[in-house]
Amino acid sequence: MATEVFQYKPQGVCSQLMQIAINGDTVEDLQVMGGCHGNLQGIGKLVQGMKIDEVIARLEGIDCRGRGTSCPDQLAQALVAYKNHKLSAVDK
């Protein structure tokens, strides 16, 4: 299976853009522009090789300073959007 790069613009957080390399149902790489660079590099390393559904389950709902979201939560939202995009492409 070929690796796809999915781009997502986070909402309500400091990071500006997420680029997620996905192969099948596995996250291969994560690059985040903006935000807390060191923390986001760490999250990127931690999610490498993880299944999309596991990343969503672990990160969805994490809050940053009462914002109702966070960069980890936005990564989960990005992966949900990716899955929805893939499903809608199959339906066409």
What is the residue extent of each domain of the chain? 3-91
This prediction's pTM: 0.94
pLDDT computed for residue 92 by the predictor: 62
Rounded to whole angstroms, the Cα distance separating 35 from 67 reads 14
Which residue is listed with tokens 């990343």?
A: 55
What digits encode the pLDDT tens for the residues 21-38?
999 999 999 999 999 999
pLDDT computed for residue 21 by the predictor: 98
Ranges of residues in the chain whose predicted pLDDT is under 50: none
pLDDT computed for residue 88 by the predictor: 85
CATH for 3-91 is 3.30.390.50
Burial of 19 per CB tally in 10 Å (0-12, 13-18, 19+): middle
